[in-house]
Homo-oligomer: A and B are copies of this chain.
Amino acid sequence: MHLVASSAVVLFSGGQDSTTCLAWAQAHFAEVHAVTIDYGQRHRIELDAARRVAARAGVPHVILPCDSFRALGGNSLTGDVAVAAGTDPVTQLPNSFVPGRNLIFLTLAAAYGWQHGITDVVTGVCQTDYSGYPDCRETTMVALQAALRAGMDAPFTIHAPLMHLTKAATIHLLWDLGRFDWLADSHTCYNGAVPPCGACPACLLRARGFLAAGMADPLLINSMPQ
């Protein structure tokens, strides 16, 4: 493969963390591509948020489909899994949650990178607010990096700049990168509400982060009546 110097692919959901990663990547690499996985998100406004932030950043933005998880999650496939009626009260994930999603998403981002001669992959996974997701841990990233290197015969590096940051520190990082205003377009709410519902665990986690950071969330300011 022909390597493109100083370029990176950001696995980009359009949420607060990957928005920060996009800004971080632009500060560290000359060329940045954003890859969003469309896995059948319950709320399509997540994809809209990703498009808006990527447009702000002025980076090539690719939305890659991945229909495997919807198939794995539902009962239409195997016939032995009941349709998930609700979400897990702790993780707020659908009962049909499929493990290893980050492994797949990062491998797809790496495959996209390989096609473009890019072997630096940036992800917003974070061990600090690790809540039962083994695929967000640093040990997983180290192991996956080795698998990507071997499996694609290319010198991949996975960057996880938020791995050991608190939410407050992530907010300060974006501020320091001079891209704080991007958060006005990012998305977090589990209920897919615009303006955000302010009551779901994701909204509360985000609000607690801004409280700890001692800053106001541009998304909320943006949602206020003028």
A103 proximity list for chain B (CB < 8 A): 107, 147-148, 151-152
Q: A99-B111, A115-B98 are in contact. Are A140 and B150 (CB under 8 A)?
A: yes
Partner among B72, B114, B150 whose Cβ is within 8 Å of the Cβ of A143: B150
Contact stretch, chosen from A24-32, A58-66, A209-217: A58-66
16 CB-based A-B contacts, threshold 8 Å: A64-B71, A65-B71, A68-B68, A68-B108, A72-B115, A99-B111, A100-B111, A100-B148, A101-B111, A103-B107, A104-B111, A134-B150, A134-B152, A135-B152, A144-B147, A146-B146
Which residue of chain B has its CB nearest to the CB of A139?
B150
Q: How many Å lie between the Cα of A65 and that of B39 in the bound state? A: 12
Which residue of chain B has its CB nearest to the CB of A146?
B143
Interface of chain A: mostly helix, strand, loop or mixed = helix
A140 CB, min distance to chain B CBs, angstroms:
4
Residue A112 lies at the interface, judged by CB distance under 8 Å to chain B: yes
Which residue of chain B has its CB nearest to the CB of A39?
B68
Q: Say whether B134 contacts A99, CB under 8 Å.
A: no
Beyond A64-B71, A135-B151: 10 further Cβ-contacts under 8 Å? A62-B77, A65-B68, A68-B108, A72-B112, A107-B107, A143-B147, A144-B147, A144-B150, A144-B151, A146-B146
